[in-house]
Structure 1
């Protein structure tokens, strides 16, 4: 392996740490000195003397070249199930700089598009209730999946109605009337657990990856956290439609004032201006396997440590998932 290649070159391995220097045999002086041949053969012993002189590491030794970084991120993307892992955002970029590149039209409210979103949520949820009431037992899981996704879309509209979004009290009232008319008070309570689970799944995919670190408040950078620390994940189109593009998540973190029906236009603008810094994926089994079997205990040096490395004897569910989950990307 590596040691054999070093032996073949007859040289010392280059070490990228300060205070250590190295050399290769072929770099030694080749000038020959003539000596008289002794009368009796003498066994010679060759002694090589080297002195370690402190040498300051060069930037190339500390940081990989851009080409190596790009290649490393590509390999990391394949390993984790991502389409792209973004390069680190420069420290001098602010959230205001990013918002300034977004076109003004993505912040505009369109009443027709807003009511279209309401219509999609209402009809899809009513259809889901109908399927649950009429489906045979073996089709109920499909009906549950449809209905749960539809009610998650109502939560997506609720995000549009947040006061920070500056969308007006009328939209908040519309959202409240739609939800209460469909569910009633007790109905809202009964499905809240399903909504939380669905929303938690979206949130987990949006914010959990082995290469995304947690940052303490004294280290936190708003622009890097919102642009570099969030994941855009594409789902099957019917899920994106029922959930009002909640998966197009990075623009929502850049500015909550962007309504859901403008998220795609905002994300395209981010791609055009900041594309190399974005984390993007298409939902796949390898991505979910990475999140479920790797991202467990946070560690500042490694970001995440899986349970089976900390307590192997007590991590049977994790080892089971690693064996049975598909690894297709």
Structure 2
């Protein structure tokens, strides 16, 4: 565990006052962190293709009682597909834009994830990390926002948090955010339409063929359940990357990019096989310092960041059920300039206020 000298209240006070700039941190990173290596990039892509192929082969030969293991492996390997597309979206996979766009579409196509719409929305997250009302990844809900919702929406959100359903969060984000090109700027809409068309055409061909050859159960077995496992990791990675009871989300006038990326991004260690299949995407702090760092250089960059900026880093954590339980149970609503509250604390405060 690293030890941070910053607590959330102090950081919230400092976000608008610190002179620290992101470029100051970037200057301390070794130049090698930013060097693209064609061999490493394509090796990662090949590894992902081979691991996904192995996963699907295992699904064809695995007895029914071992299918959960094969599904978990295949879905995690498919998450590696997303990470390749993720590098392409940040233009860190290849030097030529058309190569990034082509590879990004190919690797995100089986996930039915429109490449350009994801790329645009994800870059917005990097620009506004942990900024209230702007960060469009996993962001907290303020009590006043919660109170403005109808009873049905409030009940659904409370059920989602209390029943620890975080693992389906990215399915909703995928469905709501990435297919409607009207939600994008005019100059972005043509790219979004192209990406939506790519995945729609893929689904229109692949799904009927899969069902015709393997039946509805084959569709569920070979695509839907591995896809849900992929979304489990997407949801988990996203919430863990920026959520802890002491990580502040602050208003724009108090927000400092450098401190938000350093302290507001959390390093979490996962089982080594997950790190391998997902190309170290969970070494996430350097990725928020600079999206130009390819995934195969993240560990090198993180070593440098720990050496030079450790006092500003959040404590590291290790993936476990208890970690997820702690995050989802504690980080339910967020009061501006105060921090996270659970629903129980929120209702207790309301009860006291009404007396």
Q: Under TM normalisation by the shorter chain, which class is it?
A: 0.5 to 0.7
Q: Distance in 2 between matches of 1:307 and 1:167?
A: 48
Q: Deviations over 1:107-166 (max 9, x none)?
A: 001111011101111011111111222212221111111111111111111121125547
Which contiguous aligned blocks of 4+ residues in structure 1 show a shift greater than 6 angstroms?
181-184
Q: Which residue of 2 aligns with 1:263?
A: 298
Q: Distance in 1 between matches of 2:99 and 2:339?
A: 43
Asked if residue 244 in structure 1 is aligned to residue 279 in structure 2, the reply is: yes
Cα shift at 1:177: 3.6
Equivalent in 249, 266, 281 of residue 231 of structure 1 = 266
**Alignment check: 8 A CA contact 1:251 1:266 kept:** yes
Asked if residue 116 in structure 1 is aligned to residue 43 in structure 2, the reply is: yes
Asked if residue 86 in structure 1 is aligned to residue 25 in structure 2, the reply is: no
Q: Deviations over 1:199-245 (max 9, x none)?
A: 12101011110000111111111001100101000111100010000
Q: Distance in 1 between matches of 2:95 and 2:269?
A: 26
**Alignment check: 8 A CA contact 1:85 1:277 kept:** no
Matches of residues 175-324 of structure 1 in structure 2 within 5 Å? Answer: 175-178=104-107, 180=109, 185-186=202-203, 194-279=229-314, 280-311=316-347
Q: Distance in 2 between matches of 1:228 and 1:164?
A: 25
Equivalent in 155, 159, 174 of residue 86 of structure 2 = 159
Q: Which residue of 2 aligns with 1:132?
A: 59
Which 5+ residue runs of structure 1 have no aligned equivalent? 1-82, 313-329
**Alignment check: 8 A CA contact 2:85 2:108 kept:** no
Q: Say how many residue pairs are matched.
A: 230
Higher relative contact order (CA 8 A, sep 6+): 2
**Alignment check: 8 A CA contact 2:286 2:293 kept:** yes
Given the superposition, is the C-alpha separation of residues 178 and 204 from structure 1 closer, same or farther in structure 2, using an over 3 Å criterion? Answer: closer
Given the superposition, is the C-alpha separation of residues 167 and 197 from structure 1 closer, same or farther in structure 2, using an over 3 Å criterion? Answer: farther
Equivalent in 50, 74, 89 of residue 147 of structure 1 = 74
Which 5+ residue runs of structure 2 have no aligned equivalent? 113-198, 208-222, 349-355
Cα shift at 1:101: 0.4
Given the superposition, is the C-alpha separation of residues 178 and 220 from structure 1 closer, same or farther in structure 2, using an over 3 Å criterion? Answer: closer
TM-score (norm 1): 0.64
Q: Which residue of 2 aligns with 1:315?
A: none
**Alignment check: 8 A CA contact 1:84 1:281 kept:** no
**Alignment check: 8 A CA contact 1:234 1:281 kept:** yes
**Alignment check: 8 A CA contact 2:241 2:284 kept:** yes
**Alignment check: 8 A CA contact 1:160 1:167 kept:** no
Aligned residue for 1:256, secondary structure, equals coil
Matches of residues 97-108 of structure 1 in structure 2 within 5 Å? Answer: 97-108=24-35
Cα shift at 1:86: 2.3
Given the superposition, is the C-alpha separation of residues 140 and 164 from structure 1 closer, same or farther in structure 2, using an over 3 Å criterion? Answer: same
Q: Which residue of 1 aligns with 2:100?
A: 171
TM-score (norm 2): 0.59
Aligned residue for 1:230, secondary structure, equals coil
